[in-house]
């Protein structure tokens, strides 16, 4: 049956446009071969939007994102815009999308592809078969808490303030997401906070435990201090199944977990809102690698994280798990066949650029 979906592509900055362009080719393939009828629009975000419109998060882009079934996001940011005020920085585009679309649940899988287990900086036996899901709270905490700012004190001194704040409702909804996802996987959740020093951490621990006891006793819950979690991730990462944590700790721990897999250019992510009455939820999908300005425009970026973000979109937004699996298998196949972009290059493998990697994925899809 034909599924019609409104997708908004937001290429953004750095390698964002390159990897989104490749993902368009996979979209076209799905349209031709899998009966998916995409209505695809594209718009400006981040530094690209700032250059054209003076605003990294234009209202028109946000309005289109609100109306779309899903947003496919490239990346934002770069050294060119580092000195701008916060409200003009490219990152503002991403933060406004998260806030305005209420994308409170950020799913960041850290998966070690078998063909890449030697690419990790950790020993292969520590990372082989690794499959962790980090569930990061994305619309609260210190990223948005008030008051925030830099104020001038007397005598030339200044004071910077950020506020870490969480309500019980915000904690419960992200914990619920984590428990529900754990039921589809290994049924284990580790909840990371700093309840030894932070009030928000104490509240976090209590709320997660209460929700668990009331509704999710079939899921094994452990609490872990975020610093210890960071250490355990490099000591013995396979002890984890799902990790649920706040916005800031999630930012840090998810980068750490991604690096474990040796393939930051490979990892997708999903940011999801609440389900509305007809079961629809707002959603944004993005590769986690960021804008990588150092390699932008050279045709060497790895498109796989973005292509796998499309797979997540098929699974979580479009109810097309089968098509998602097709893409994931095609990626496995391409890696097994030895194709490697520069970021994951290993001895004896075939080095390819951005579009040749996509060619290989499309060929594997054809062959499946």
Q: Which residues are catalytic?
A: 143, 194, 227, 251, 255
Are 323 and 303 in contact, with CB atoms under 8 Å apart?
Answer: no
In the complex, minimum distance from the CB of residue 252 to Mg ion, in angstroms, rounded to a whole number: 8
Backbone phi and psi for residue 246, each to the nearest 5 degrees, phi listed first: -80, -175
The string over 167-185, giving b where at least 16 C-beta atoms fall within 10 Å of a residue's C-beta and e elsewhere, is eeebbbbbbbbbbebbeee
The minimum distance between CB 289 and ligand IPM, in angstroms, equals 10
Question: Which CB atom, from 256 or from 363, has the smaller least distance to Mg ion?
Answer: 256
Residue 61 CB, shortest distance to ligand IPM, in Å, is: 16
Which listed option, ligand IPM, Mg ion, none, makes contact with residue 244 (CB within 5 to 8 Å by class)?
none
How far does CA 253 lie from the centroid of its chain? Answer: 12
| Count of residues touching Mg ion (by CB under 5 A) | 1
Instruction: Return the number of the residue (76 or 307) whose C-beta is nearest ligand IPM.
Output: 76
Binding stretches for ligand IPM (CB under 6 A): 77, 91, 94-95, 251
HEC string of 211-265 equals HHHHHCCCCEEEEEEHHHHHHHHHHCHHHCCEEEECHHHHHHHHHHHHHHCCCHH
Nearer to Mg ion, 43 or 251 (CB): 251
Question: What's the CA gap between 115 and 112, in Å, rounded?
Answer: 8
Query: Which C-beta is closer to ligand IPM: that of 84 or that of 349?
Result: 84
> Which long-range CB contacts under 8 A does 229-232 form with residues at least 24 apart?
229/190, 229/192, 229/253, 230/256
- Residue sitting closest to ligand IPM (CB): 91
Q: Which of ligand IPM, Mg ion, none binds 94 (CB below 5-8 Å, type-dependent)?
A: ligand IPM
C-beta of residue 56 within 8 angstroms of C-beta of residue 46: yes
d(CA 260, CA 276): 36
Binding residues for Mg ion restricted to 244-263, rule: CB under 5 A: 251
Smallest gap from residue 56 Cβ to ligand IPM (A)? 11
CA 81 to CA 107: how far, in whole Å?
A: 28
Binding site for Mg ion (CB under 5 A): 251
């Amino acid at each position: 049956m034909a599924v019609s979906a409104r997708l908004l592509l937001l290429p953004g900055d750095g390698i964002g446009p390159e990897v989104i362009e490749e993902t368009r080719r996979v979209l076209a393939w799905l349209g031709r071969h899998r009966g998916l009828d995409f209505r695809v629009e594209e718009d400006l975000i981040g530094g690209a939007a700032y250059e054209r419109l003076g605003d990294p998060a234009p209202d028109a882009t946000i309005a289109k994102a609100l109306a779309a079934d899903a947003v496919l996001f490239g990346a934002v940011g770069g050294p060119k815009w580092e000195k701008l005020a916060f409200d003009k920085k490219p990152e503002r585009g991403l933060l406004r999308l998260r806030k305005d679309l209420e994308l409170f649940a950020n799913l960041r899988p850290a998966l070690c592809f078998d063909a890449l287990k030697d690419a990790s900086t950790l020993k292969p036996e520590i990372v082989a078969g690794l499959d962790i899901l980090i569930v990061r709270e994305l619309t609260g905490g210190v990223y948005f808490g008030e008051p925030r700012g830099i104020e001038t004190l007397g005598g030339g001194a200044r004071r910077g303030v950020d506020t870490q704040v969480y309500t019980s409702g915000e904690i419960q909804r992200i914990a619920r997401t984590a428990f529900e996802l754990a039921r589809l996987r290994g049924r284990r959740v580790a909840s990371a906070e700093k309840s030894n020093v932070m009030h928000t951490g104490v509240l976090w621990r209590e709320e997660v435990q209460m929700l668990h006891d009331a509704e999710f006793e079939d899921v094994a819950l452990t609490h872990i201090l975020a610093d210890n979690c960071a250490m355990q991730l490099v000591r013995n990462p396979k002890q984890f199944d799902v990790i649920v944590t706040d916005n800031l700790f999630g930012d840090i721990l998810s980068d750490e977990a991604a690096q474990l897999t040796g393939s930051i250019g490979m990892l997708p992510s999903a940011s999801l809102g609440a389900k509305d009455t007809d079961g629809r939820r707002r959603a944004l999908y993005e590769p986690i690698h960021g804008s990588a300005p150092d390699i932008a425009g050279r045709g060497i970026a790895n498109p796989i994280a973005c292509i796998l973000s499309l797979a997540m979109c098929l699974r979580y937004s479009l109810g097309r798990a089968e098509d998602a699996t097709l893409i994931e298998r095609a990626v496995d196949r391409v890696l097994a066949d030895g194709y490697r972009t520069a970021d994951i290059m290993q001895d004896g493998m075939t080095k390819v650029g951005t579009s040749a990697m996509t060619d290989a994925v499309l060929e594997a899809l054809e062959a499946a």
